[in-house]
Copies of this chain bind each other. A is one copy, B any other.
């Protein structure tokens, strides 16, 4: 850093140019503020290049071909693995972020390529260059893949979601450590593309954050696909034969899994390293996420006026792109209002729906779509709940969608408040069935009113009618 160089100054500086950072930048910029966004890798972030977009791009052809095989009157399409990889490549634009960079240029947001590090109140450095923020700094750095302390694991150079979602080489044998969303989605993709996949998961079942029946359905489906699913199994040690030879995962109790590649998908770690959080006194949660108020203000700072915010995965509230973007919109509006001298009440500038439970879709076949609280989460909160379960084929729209349709639906009702607090659907094409639950939960629509929201016949959404009938309406 040359001491003669003038510090760059912006109203708002956002660190991290994933969808979450982009949304804060967009909202604050629309509020009339000058905005810089700091990114050390790709503008568009993990979601666009290494997570949601490529995985959905890979999964959709699997869904579409299978759907065509499950309807009488169709001769059934088949997967073309090279075509699937080409599709993925065009969705990630061959890891070229010029489109996103063009958008920043177009709207007038300054891109600072490099690593951002806080150095003091409203002050930071980007690769040594001094940058000042007049109003706010927003952390939107997300997470990186967690790497469990298994002897030999790091040395075996395992794949993370990044290598798995961008590979053009389909390993003959793939071992997957983990049983969450990333593990399940990618296990299914690689099995469908020709790998022999083995999943090793410590927990007794897959998708542990969802209702148990969801994990069970996905586990059964993966087994039907040919995936070797080993739940309740711990990896003790990993070794690789030479730099590119086969990988052996040694399991507790003596078994082994031998594969050509090993994908580690056991969770995420907040990307806080090198952010200079200490320099401003920022507090971390027990799990190492940046601790924030319900308005996304970073806790622990000594300044009287809030200026540091953390949105998206890095605050650990909900590791989901759409919830991060939601926080980003609220936070962006808050910063805009404060910069204009207003202190707005809740409403748009507080992401209060965070507390109701996030919607999430797992794009496996069967899909899992959930919103709000699971039964267990609702009980933990001490709610007086009633749970209603139904097979999805209680709606004739499901049977019309695919011959022998299999799936399961659950709603969780807060009996004291008379409102829905959770819903989970499992089955083919349920991804779009969950938004009504989110609207009902967030809108606190009384069940007695929801009864009058009639689903069209014969859609799959008629499961809503069946669930409410089963509840006793």
Contacts and interface: CB of A to CB of B under 8 A. Distances in A.
Interface of A: 19, 47, 52-53, 56-57, 60-61, 64-65, 67-81, 83-87, 90-91, 320-323, 325-326, 347-348, 351-353, 358-361, 369, 396-397, 400-401, 403, 429, 431-436, 438-443, 445, 448-462, 464-465, 473
Given A435-B459, A438-B454, A459-B431, A72 B53 contact: no
Contact of A443 (B369, B438, B450): B450
B440 A439 contact: yes
A69 B77 contact: yes
A352 B452 contact: yes
Contacts of A84: 72-73
Interface of A is mostly: helix
Contacts of A69: 77
A449 B443 contact: yes
Contacts of A351: 452
A440 B61 CA distance: 32
Given A64-B71, A74-B80, A75-B78, 11 more contacts: A19-B457, A61-B74, A73-B85, A74-B83, A75-B77, A91-B400, A351-B452, A353-B452, A429-B429, A435-B459, A442-B445
A60 B405 CA distance: 13
Contact of A396 (B53, B71, B434, B439): B53
A448 B360 CA distance: 22
B79 A454 contact: no
B453 A353 contact: yes
Given A64-B68, A75-B80, A435 B457 contact: no
B442 A56 contact: no
A19 to B, nearest CB: 8
A436 B429 CA distance: 16
Contact of A60 (B19, B81, B401): B401
Contacts of A435: 433, 435-436, 453, 455-456, 459, 461, 464
Most B CB within 10 A of own CB, among A352, A358, A435, A462: A435
A79 B451 CA distance: 38
A347 to B, nearest CB: 6
A16 B69 CA distance: 38
Contact of A456 (B431, B460, B465): B431
Contacts of A358: 454
B52 A457 contact: yes
Contacts of A77: 65, 68-69, 74-77
A322 B443 contact: no
